[in-house]
Amino acid sequence: MVFNSYTFIVFFAIVLVLHNLPFSWKTKKINLLLASYIFYAAWNPPFILLLWLSTLVDYFVGKALYTQNNIHKRRVLLVISLIGNLGMLCFFKYGGFLMENFVDLVNAIGFNYHPPKPNIILPAGISFYTFTTLCYTIDMYKKESKPIPTLLDFSLFVTFFPHLVAGPIVRPPQLAAQFETPRTATRKQLLDGMFLVSLGLFMKVVLADGMLAASADAVFNTTKALTSLDAWMGVLAFTGQIFFDFAGYSICAMGAALSLGFTLPQNFQTPYAAIGFSDFWRRWHITLSAWLRDYLYIPLGGNRKGKFRTYINLMITMLLGGLWHGASWTFVAWGGLHGLYLWIEKFFEDRKKNKLIAQPLVRNPQTPATKTFPGIFYALLTFFLINITWVFFRATTFAGAGKILGAMAGMAQGAMPLLTSLAIAKIVVVITGMLILHWVLRNTKVIDAAYKLPWWITGTVWSAMLILLILSQESSSAFIYFQF
């Protein structure tokens, strides 16, 4: 079931009604849990068994980890959780990828080995709920938070339908604690939640699918030579599409949860207004960035073991972050390119720090201000380089990525125009508007910005979004991040 479907509208209306009826809190939680299973089963019912298995194993292992004092037994319990979760993730998401690369390697050294291709179906959202349950057992191992008291609360924490399939990736203190006491939305929460759901759907249906997706698909799927203009427009279209698609899902998730009285962590904060790549990863897919930092980068040693190890840890984190997104070497290259950008950024930051140490009389060094020309220049440079990375994210092969990059550099010969003037105009208007809004709202939440405006302006914008949603052609395409 996808948010951008009539089925979800009916489903959500029923969930809202049941949640606001005078049932006991335990009954309401059971209703939410059953609703979450129905939401997930709409894709492929048998995969609920994997969800149940992951839930049961991690609930009981997590409880044992917290109470067990024998370090050897605690390590065994942690290994059980890691094998269970990462084993399922590796089989379903990377089984075909690993087999394909193994066959290529074996044949490259002289063996004639051609086994049948495995027919493995990827369960929706397995990367997201695997990371959710993993952070619970790791936290229990470190005793950084208390166990979730009941299996019902833990099951709801894992499967709560707004975040289940594509995040945000939540941690126990962020959500599980909210299940301990009765919750229904206040009038303000319900209004804010409905506004966020409308905004998220508008971003997905009208902007991502209606204005940008067709142009991005045309450019990345064509077998013909591309003009430089078409290549750039196609990449910019995907740059906007993936933001509006994924941020739209996250905003819908936050809005749906808020309408029921729950709060989910923010997952995006105007990422295309980032000044530098560290800043970008503090703004893009915030919950994944924080997960990789806390459960991968820091355990690897972070920046505590010297400069060389810091650079290695950064690259390992970004390479695995790229692989998390998909079982393809192009995703690894995407992560590696971001790692390279972070390397370069850190190199210049370290040089700047060394100069300041050598000149102790220099006080309060100023970083590029966000509202000045240097800040705008660095933000546009960051945005330009991010567009390069999206080529590897969207292209299915390195040959396809090379073709796009070559065309962007003006190296294509004999290319004919592909996109229409109307398509190009849509891309220019949407991307320009997106960048302006990102800059204006750089450090402001959408809801806060809405409340700063006069009520009639907010009402007019909301009404316009709803009208455009109604007038748009029905969009039932899955969100891009469902495949991860």
Q: Is 143 left (phi over 0), alpha (psi -120 to 50) or beta?
A: left
- Residue 136 shares a structural domain with residue 206: no
Residue 287 lies inside a defined structural domain of this protein: yes
- Give the relative orientation of helices 25-41 and 6-19 as an angle to the nearest 10 degrees: 170
Residue 403 lies inside a defined structural domain of this protein: yes
Which one of 183, 212, 243 terminates a domain?
183
Dihedral angle computed from the Cα positions of residues 200, 163, 35 and 48, in that order, rounded to the nearest 10 degrees: 130
The rounded radius of gyration (Å) of the Cα atoms in the chain is: 24
Task: Cite the DSSP H helix spans in 359-445.
Answer: 373-394, 398-408, 421-440
pLDDT in 10s for each residue of the chain, 484 residues: 788 888 889 999 999 999 999 999 999 999 999 999 999 988 778 888 888 988 999 999 999 998 888 888 889 998 988 888 888 888 888 787 778 887 778 888 877 777 777 777 777 778 888 888 898 999 999 888 889 999 999 999 999 999 988 879 999 889 999 999 999 999 999 999 999 999 999 999 999 999 999 999 999 999 888 999 999 999 999 999 999 999 999 999 999 999 999 999 999 999 999 999 999 999 999 999 999 999 999 999 888 888 888 999 999 999 999 998 888 899 999 999 999 999 999 988 888 777 665 554 433 434 445 556 677 889 999 999 999 999 999 999 999 999 999 999 888 777 888 889 999 999 999 999 999 999 999 888 888 888 888 988 989 999 999 999 888 865 556 666 656 5
Which residues lie below 8 Å from residue 23, measured CB to CB, with a gap of 6+?
Answer: 31
3-state secondary structure at position 170: coil
- Asked if residues 129 and 51 have their Cβ atoms less than 8 Å apart, the reply is yes
pLDDT of amino acid 84: 87
Residue 122 lies inside a defined structural domain of this protein: yes
- Residue 328 shares a structural domain with residue 457: yes
Our answer to whether residue 438 is catalytic in this structure is: no
pLDDT of amino acid 124: 76
Residue 372 lies inside a defined structural domain of this protein: yes
- Asked if residues 85 and 54 have their Cβ atoms less than 8 Å apart, the reply is yes
Residue 13 lies inside a defined structural domain of this protein: no
Q: What is the DSSP letter of 23?
A: -
- Residue 325 shares a structural domain with residue 179: no
How many H helices and E strands in the chain?
21, 0
Residue 16 lies inside a defined structural domain of this protein: no
Which one of 144, 165, 183 terminates a domain?
183
* Annotated catalytic residue within 19, 163, 285, 325: 325
- Residue 162 shares a structural domain with residue 241: no
Structure tokens at 303: 């920046």
- Residue 61 shares a structural domain with residue 194: no
290 sits in which H/E element: helix 286-292
- Residue 306 shares a structural domain with residue 423: yes
pTM: 0.90
- Residue 142 shares a structural domain with residue 166: yes
pLDDT of amino acid 111: 77
- Residue 252 shares a structural domain with residue 388: yes
E strands of 57-136, at which residues?
none
**Cα distance between residue 194 and residue 62, in whole Å:** 35
Find the farthest-apart pair of alpha carbons in the chain and give their distance in angstroms, rounded.
Answer: 72
Domain that holds residue 152: 21-183
pLDDT of amino acid 370: 54
pLDDT of amino acid 475: 56
pLDDT of amino acid 252: 94
- Residue 135 shares a structural domain with residue 203: no
pLDDT of amino acid 154: 95
CA atoms within 13 A on the CB side of 204: 27
Structure tokens at 257: 């949860």
Asked whether the CA dihedral 5, 10, 12, 13 is positive or negative, the reply is positive
- Residue 463 shares a structural domain with residue 385: yes
Residue 107 lies inside a defined structural domain of this protein: yes
- Give the relative orientation of helices 48-67 and 151-159 as an angle to the nearest 10 degrees: 130
- Give the relative orientation of helices 329-358 and 307-325 as an angle to the nearest 10 degrees: 150
**How far out from the chain centre does Cα 157 lie?**
18
- Residue 144 shares a structural domain with residue 267: no
Residue 342 lies inside a defined structural domain of this protein: yes
**Cα distance between residue 372 and residue 369, in whole Å:** 6
- Residue 162 shares a structural domain with residue 282: no
| Domain count across the chain | 2
Which one of 183, 218, 236 terminates a domain?
183
